[in-house]
Structure 1
Amino acid sequence: MTSSERSVDTPDGPIEYDTSYLNSLRELKFVVVIGSIALAWTLIYGGWKGYSSDPEAVEITLGMPSWVFWGIAIPWCVTSMATLGFALFVLREDDDDLLEQEAQAQAEAASKEDAS
């Protein structure tokens, strides 16, 4: 295939992703990982301790069954703290003005290529 036979949409070099896309992808990975870990812990621990214990001898922690405390309350608190830490120290705001300038520059470059 020669360069004249290539589609106009086919990039010649590596694909450059938008910073907004990369930031949202990083945030998505964080949410999926933290949520999956918390869900797995809750289901496994809750099923193991909640259904296998003797109903007459339920251990109490802070006024609730121990399996509820360790299987639901603690993962909820840990997930909330991890999310707060992510929001305060990792999460970045996208520079929308810079994104608009990049989009305008790309549009101008495309219109110049179309004109020639």
Structure 2
Amino acid sequence: MAHRITAGADILLMPSRFEPCGLNQLYAMNYGTVPVVHAVGGLRDTVQPFNPFDESGLGWTFDRAEANKLMAALWNCISTYREYKKSWEGIQQRGMSQDLSWDNAAQQYEEVLVAAKYQW
């Protein structure tokens, strides 16, 4: 049921104060639901902020758990949804086209370990 709700939503608001990993934003992006998250832990690592100038990014982040920061990020998100449909669709497409498989994660982890090994 939770996956159906997430898949049916346009925006996922996740103002967590602490989030070591986070799977909900990954599920959301996989379904085309755009995340608005507090930039902590795994949320900061997985949701690259939308940049309207080069049409990059996967959602919106805010840097401090304060109401005004959350509202500003949400306002930017909703404004894009309402006024810039092509940009919105691009955010959805980028989110859905990510390779979030364990094989990809393992490959990236191995690359980090190999790079660390040769820095000594």
TM-score category of the 2 structures, normalised to the smaller one? under 0.3
Higher-RCO chain (CA-CA 8 Å, sequence separation at least 6):
1
TM-score (norm. length: structure 1)? 0.24
Please give the TM-score of this superposition, normalised by the length of structure 2. 0.23
